[in-house]
Structure 1
Amino acid sequence: MSVNWEAVGATFLPHVGGYLNGLIVRPQLHKWYKDLKKPSWCPPNAAFPVAWTTLYTGMGYASYLVWRDGEGFDGDARLPLALYASQLALNWTWSPIFFHFHSFKWSTVNITILWGNVAACMYFFWKISKPAGLLMVPYLGWLSLAAALNYRIWVDNPPKENPEISTKEK
């Protein structure tokens, strides 16, 4: 039995950034994130690694299908794979923006752009491989929930007033 290393590599690639982001996120869950006001519909913390593992696997394999069926980077797959790469970069940058820099505003901007990028990616994946397009649907659904959650956290957790700045401005 021969191993399809292209499929394995494409499927594994998104997990690299996910794993590295996990190193950023984990310490913040018990320090900073736990004290944020979150809506009642916020999934439990345990759901996030399961969801992202599943989503990264699906999107990675979808990228392989597009690469294979769209004749690689020199064929029709060029634009869809460029969209895929850019959405993956946006995806990987969201966690540091939110969890490390604690920026609700910029993480909301990031995830909004990411959502549009994934929608475009899904559309162009679908044109080359219907299964690849369908594999992106759960990802877009989860991003919709994540974007709403990000925005709700931003609205419900206004920045605390910094006494030093207040004193200087008076």
Structure 2
Amino acid sequence: MRSSWIMPIAVALLAALGVAFIGGSITDLGPWYENLAKPDWTPPRPVFPIAWTLIFALAAMAGVTAWRKAPNVQVSDTVIGLFAANGFLNILWSLLFFRMQRPDWAFYELIVLWLSIAVLIVYCWRLSRLSGLLLVPYLAWVTVAGALNWQVVQLNPPFG
């Protein structure tokens, strides 16, 4: 491995771990969440940390790959900015859903999160097809999460 890869990998790893840690610390699976009516197809609890670990690892690889393929500083800064905005939206969803106990607001925020992933895929794809492909599982998982979120909103009384 060339030494020029070390810094981007370290930064991507720290960013992914930071988003995962903050999002995880906001996620409260206590009585409020347990008492929500959820659809029968809700994945078992152990699936979530496994899926998110894989998604964050793939996203970090996608980010490094796209950043390394950027033809200039402006494009590499855009890659970093898009990933940073996406990380913020990822954390915001957990804050809205779990801490504020507003799955209704979280659902609408999730639409913005989904769009940010779609933008990432398109932008990164232009730099590296591999980078774009590495983000597809993230979009798929958030699509499932959106359907699950919507069902929680539909199955439970009004929030707030």
- The normalised TM-score by structure 1 is 0.85
CA RMSD, Structure 1 to Structure 2 (Å): 1.9
Aligned length: 158
State the partner residue of 2:123: 124
Structure 2: gaps spanning 5 or more residues: none
Is the 8 Å Cα contact of residues 23 and 90 (structure 2) preserved in structure 1?
A: no
Match of 1:13 in 2: 15
**1:123 corresponds to which letter in structure 2?**
V
CA distance in 2, matches of 1:66, 1:2: 16
Give runs of ≥4 in structure 1 deviating > 6 Å. Answer: none
How many angstroms apart in 1 are the aligned matches of 2:34 and 2:81? 36
Q: Name structure 1 gaps, 5 residues minimum.
A: 163-170
Distance 1:75-1:24 versus aligned 2 partners, 3 A rule:
closer
Give the alignment of 1:29-108 within 5 angstroms: 29-71=29-71, 74-108=73-107
Kept in 2: contact 1:24–1:96 (CA 8 A)? yes
CA distance in 2 between counterparts of 1:30 and 1:44 reads 15
Calculate the TM-score normalised by the size of structure 2.
0.90
Larger gyration radius, structure 1 or structure 2: 1
Deviation at 1:2, TM superposition (A): 6.6
Rounded to whole Å, the distance in 2 between the matches of 1:142 and 1:125 is 18
**Other structure's SS at 2:30 match:** helix
1:144 and 2:140 aligned: no
> Within 1, Cα distance between the matches of 2:80 and 2:71?
11
CA distance in structure 1 between the partners assigned to 2:32 and 2:20 by the alignment:
20
Counterpart secondary structure, 1:90 = helix
Distance in 1 of aligned mates of 2:10 and 2:77: 20
Q: Alignment identity in percent?
A: 32
Structure 1 counterpart of 2:113: 114
Where does residue 159 of structure 1 map in the other structure? 158
State the Cα distance separating 1:83 from its structure 2 match.
2.1
CA deviations 1:1-56 (Å, max 9, x no partner) are 7762321321331221211222222xx31321111100011111111111111101
